Amino acid sequence: RLEEGRALAEDVWSIYNVANLPADCINLGQGYMNFPPPVWLKKAAEEALGVVAANHYSHPKGRMRLREAIKNVYGPQLNRVLDVEKEILVTSGANEGQYSVFTAFLEDGDEVIMFEPFFDQYLPSVTFNGGKPVYVPLHPPSNASGKFSSDEWKIDSRELRDAITSRTKMIIVNTPHNPVGKVFTKAELEMIAALAEEHNLLVMADEVYDCLVYDEKEHFRIANLPGMWDRTVTVGSAGKSFAATGWRVGWLIGPESIIKPSLAATTRIVFASNSPLQEATAAGLEQVQGRKFFQQQLAEYAERRQVLTDCFDTLGLPYTNPEGSYFILLDISRVKFPDDYPFPESVLGRGRDFRACWFIALEIGVSSIPVSEFYCIEHANIGEVYARFAFCKDVDTLRNAAERFKKLV
Quick one: 31 or 254, whose CB is closer to ligand GLN?
31
Quick one: 193 or 392, whose CB is closer to ligand GLN?
392
Q: Beta strands 319-321 and 327-331: pairing type?
A: antiparallel
Q: How many CB atoms are located within 10 Å of the residue 350 CB?
A: 22
From residue 406, alpha-carbon distances to 124, 194, 314, 360 in Å are 37, 47, 9, 12
Give the one residue of 31, 97, 176, 254 binding ligand GLN; rule: CB under 6 A.
Answer: 31
The 10 Å CB-count burial string (b at 16+, else e) for 307-331 is: bbbebbeeeebbbbbbbbbbbbbbb
Q: Do residues 394 and 401 touch, judged by C-beta distance below 8 A?
A: no
Interface with ligand GLN includes 325 (CB under 6 A)?
Answer: no
Give the one residue of 168, 178, 320, 397 binding ligand GLN; rule: CB under 6 A.
Answer: 178
Q: Is 200 left (phi over 0), alpha (psi -120 to 50) or beta?
A: left
Backbone φ, ψ for residue 9 (5° rounding): -70, 155
Quick one: 15 or 113, whose CB is closer to ligand GLN?
15
Minimum gap (Å) between residue 157 Cβ and ligand GLN = 27
Interaction with ligand GLN in 120-149: which residues (CB under 6 A)? 121
Quick one: 31 or 60, whose CB is closer to ligand GLN?
31
Give the one residue of 4, 6, 13, 286 binding ligand GLN; rule: CB under 6 A.
Answer: 13
Minimum gap (Å) between residue 88 Cβ and ligand GLN = 22
Interface with ligand GLN includes 224 (CB under 6 A)?
Answer: no
Minimum gap (Å) between residue 38 Cβ and ligand GLN = 20
Minimum gap (Å) between residue 218 Cβ and ligand GLN = 23
Quick one: 13 or 128, whose CB is closer to ligand GLN?
13
Interface with ligand GLN includes 254 (CB under 6 A)?
Answer: no
Interface with ligand GLN includes 30 (CB under 6 A)?
Answer: yes
Question: Which residues make Cβ contacts (< 8 Å) with residue 162, sequence separation at least 6?
Answer: none
**CA-angle at 376, arms to 357 and 139, nearest 5°:** 85
Q: Is 243 left (phi over 0), alpha (psi -120 to 50) or beta?
A: left
Summarize as ranges the residues that interact with ligand GLN (CB under 6 A).
13, 30-31, 121, 178, 390
